[in-house]
Structure 1
Amino acid sequence: MSSSGSTLARRALGREMRRMREVSEISQAAAARVAEVSPQTIGRMEEGRATQVSGLHLNALCNAYGATDAERGTVLGLHQEVKQAKELGGGWWKGFADATPEGFDHYLGLEQDARRIITWQTTLVPGLLQTPEYRRAMFWVDDPTRSTDDVERLIEMASYRQNRLREPGFTIDVLLSEAVLRAQVGGRPVMADQLRHLADCAALPNVSIGVVPFDASSHLGSFVGSFVLLEFPPLPESKLIELPVVYVEGYVGDLYLERDHEVRQYRDALTEIRRVALDKTDTRRLIVAVAKEYGA
C-alpha cells in the first residue's frame, strides 16, 4: 500500500526550504551553521531525502530565511506529514533494507506514491512487469558473485513492488523497443515465459503496452535512452500538488529530474515515441509472435 505520501512530503518540504534559502541568498553552508547540522544534511533535506532535521531546525532556518507566517505554516505542515508517515512505519521496502541497492530506496518511495508511471525502455522489461526468472537472470549477470540467498531476497522484494499493479487508481504506460523482446535475458525459455507474461499484463485495465518495432521511422527514443516519468496525486494532508519526476537509471548513478523544462523535454520525447509505436492489438500480436519464436 501507499507510504502515505512520505517521500512526496519530504520532496515538497525540501523544495520549499531550498526556495526560501535561495531567495534569502544564504548558502547551504551558512544554513547548516544556523541549524547546527552539516551542509550535507541541508543538501539531503533540500533533495527530499530522509534526514534527522527536526521542527526546531526548520524554525531556526525559517527565522534565518525571513519566512512569512504562511511559509512557516507550510513548512511545519509538511514536516508533520513526514512525521506521521514515519510513525506509521514508513514504506514496505524498509523491511528489505539488507537487499535494497544503495540509494534505490528513494526511487521505491517515489514509485510507491506515484499515481501514474510512464516509461520508455530500450533494452529491458521494466521491473513492475518482470517475471521472477527474468529478474533472477538479470541479477546473476549484474553480479555473478551474489549468493543464492541474496538473489532470492531481491526476487521477494520485486514481488512486493508488483503489488502496485493491483492497487486502485494506479496506472502504468509502457513503451518498449522491439530490442527488449529480442534480448535473450536468461535464455529462450525464460524469454518465452516473460513475453507471455507481458501479453497477460497488457490485458489488465490499468496497464498499457506499446512496442516500437525495428522498422519504425527515426524517433527521439533512439537518442534519449530509457527513462521513467512518475506523476503523483495531491499530498494526503496539505493537498499540495506534487511535481512529476523523471528518473534515469545509470550504471554508476541515477538522475532525478524535476525542473519544468527537463520534464517537458521527456514528455515531448514520449509523444514522439508513441507516434511510432504499434497500437494495442499489433503490440500484443508481436509479443506473442516473438514468444513463439523462442519455441517454449
Structure 2
Amino acid sequence: MAGGSTLPKRALGRELRRLRERSGTNQAAAARAIEVSPQTIGRLEDGHASRPTTLQINGLCDRYGASDEERRFVLDLVQELRAMKLSGGGWWRAYDDEIPRDFNHYLGLEAAACHMTSWQITLLPGLLQTPEYRRAIIWAAHPDWPTADVERRLELARHRREKLRDRTFRLDVLLSEAVLRHHVGGPGVMADQLLHLVEASAWPNVSVRVVPYDARSTIGLVVRSFVFLEFPVPSNTRIAEPPVAYVEGYTGDLYLERAGEVAQYTEAIRRIAKVALNEQETSELVARIAKEYQR
C-alpha cells in the first residue's frame, strides 16, 4: 500500500476485530489467549499497535478459528507493516518533532489517499497554500516560535504539496466565499494566494469551486470544515479501505470512518457541491477578488 503504515494498520485491526466478533470472543478473552492486556487488543484493533508479533497474530487466529486464507491475509498485513517499518515509514517522519501526534496520523492518510474532497469555511486547504500564506497562519497560531521552527513547518508543507504531482491523485476543493475574504497575511499575501488558486484550479487533477455568500443552503456551515479521504484498492488484498472524514480541531482532531458517519459526509459533499459555483465561475470570482487585494 502506498504512502505509509496507516492503512495496513487499520486493515489489520479491522480484520482482527471482525474475526474476534465472529467467534464470539471478547477482548479480555483474546488478551488472555496471547498473554497481553485487553487494552493492547483494543489498540491493535483500532490500528494503533505498531509491533504485533507473528506469534501473537497466529495465537489470535487460533483463538478465533480463522481459516487458512484469513490467517494468510492478516500475516501478509503484518509482513507489510514490518517492511514499512524497515524502510523508515513516510517522509514526514523526519519532522516528528514538529508535528502534533494527531496530525501525524492525518499525514499518513493524506499520503495514502487517491482522492480528497476538502470543504473549508475559514482557510484554504494545506495542499493549495502558498508559503507566505502558510507562514502567516503559523505566526498567528505560534507567535513566539523561533524562525527556524517556522521554516521547518514550511518545509513540511512543501513536501505535502508534492502530492499534487501524482496524476493518479485527485483533489476536489469546495470553499466558502469567506475563505477568499479573510485577510491572512495582508493584501499582498492574499493576492498572490488567490492567483495561485486560479492557477491550481486549471491543473487536470484539481477542482476548485466556491460557495458564494448568497447560496441558499447552509449545510456547509452546519458540518464545519472537513476533509474526506478515499483510498485506492491495494493490489495484494483487493479489499478497499473505507473512506475517512477528518475534522481538525484547535485542541484535537476527529477521524470518522463508520458507515453512518461516512454516509453523512458523502451527503454533505453532494449538498455543498449543489450550491457551489462551477469551476469557470469560481475562477472568475477568485481572480476578481485577487484584483481587489492588489488595489
1:294 matched to 2:274? The reply is no
Q: CA deviation at 1:43?
A: 2.6
Q: Structure 1 unaligned segments of length 5 or more: list them.
A: none
| Count, aligned residues | 295
* CA deviation map 1:155-195 (0-9, x unaligned): 10010000000012001000000010011111211111111
Q: Partners in 2 of 1:30 and 1:143 — Cα distance?
A: 47
SS at match of 1:111: helix
Question: Which residue number in structure 1 is paired with residue 206 of structure 2?
Answer: 207
Q: CA deviation at 1:50?
A: 4.9
Question: Which residue number in structure 1 is paired with residue 149 of structure 2?
Answer: 150
Kept in 2, the 8 Å contact 1:49–1:106? The answer is: no
Kept in 1, the 8 Å contact 2:117–2:172? The answer is: yes
Question: Which residue number in structure 2 is paired with residue 48 of structure 1?
Answer: 47
* Matched-pair identity in %: 56
Letter in 2 for 1:16: E
* CA deviation map 1:74-130 (0-9, x unaligned): 211211222222233211011111111222121111111111001111111000000
Q: Is the deviation greater in 69-78 or in 271-280?
A: 69-78
1:71 matched to 2:95? The reply is no
Kept in 2, the 8 Å contact 1:77–1:238? The answer is: no
1:109 matched to 2:130? The reply is no
* CA deviation map 1:192-251 (0-9, x unaligned): 111111111001000000000001112311211111111111124223221111111111
Q: Partners in 2 of 1:198 and 1:32 — Cα distance?
A: 51
Question: Which residue number in structure 2 is paired with residue 137 of structure 1?
Answer: 136
Kept in 1, the 8 Å contact 2:95–2:156? The answer is: yes
Kept in 2, the 8 Å contact 1:210–1:279? The answer is: yes
Q: CA deviation at 1:61?
A: 1.6
SS at match of 2:213: coil
Alignment of 1:1-296 (within 5 A): 2-3=2-3, 6-295=5-294
Letter in 2 for 1:112: A
Letter in 1 for 2:272: I
Q: TM-score, normalised on structure 1?
A: 0.94
Q: Partners in 1 of 2:145 and 2:49 — Cα distance?
A: 28
Q: CA deviation at 1:64?
A: 2.1
* CA deviation map 1:256-289 (0-9, x unaligned): 1111121111111111101110011110011111
Kept in 2, the 8 Å contact 1:44–1:51? The answer is: no
Q: CA deviation at 1:252?
A: 1.4
Q: Partners in 1 of 2:68 and 2:222 — Cα distance?
A: 47
Q: Is the deviation greater in 206-215 or in 240-249?
A: 240-249
Q: CA deviation at 1:154?
A: 0.6
Letter in 1 for 2:94: G
SS at match of 1:61: helix
Against the structure 1 CA distance between its residues 40 and 154, is the aligned structure 2 distance closer, same or farther, given a 3 Å change threshold?
farther
Q: Partners in 2 of 1:187 and 1:2 — Cα distance?
A: 38
Letter in 2 for 1:17: L
Kept in 2, the 8 Å contact 1:78–1:238? The answer is: no
SS at match of 2:218: coil
Q: Is the deviation greater in 146-155 or in 25-34?
A: 25-34
Q: Partners in 1 of 2:85 and 2:206 — Cα distance?
A: 30
SS at match of 2:277: coil
Against the structure 1 CA distance between its residues 250 and 39, is the aligned structure 2 distance closer, same or farther, given a 3 Å change threshold?
farther
Against the structure 1 CA distance between its residues 89 and 239, is the aligned structure 2 distance closer, same or farther, given a 3 Å change threshold?
farther
Q: TM-score, normalised on structure 2?
A: 0.94
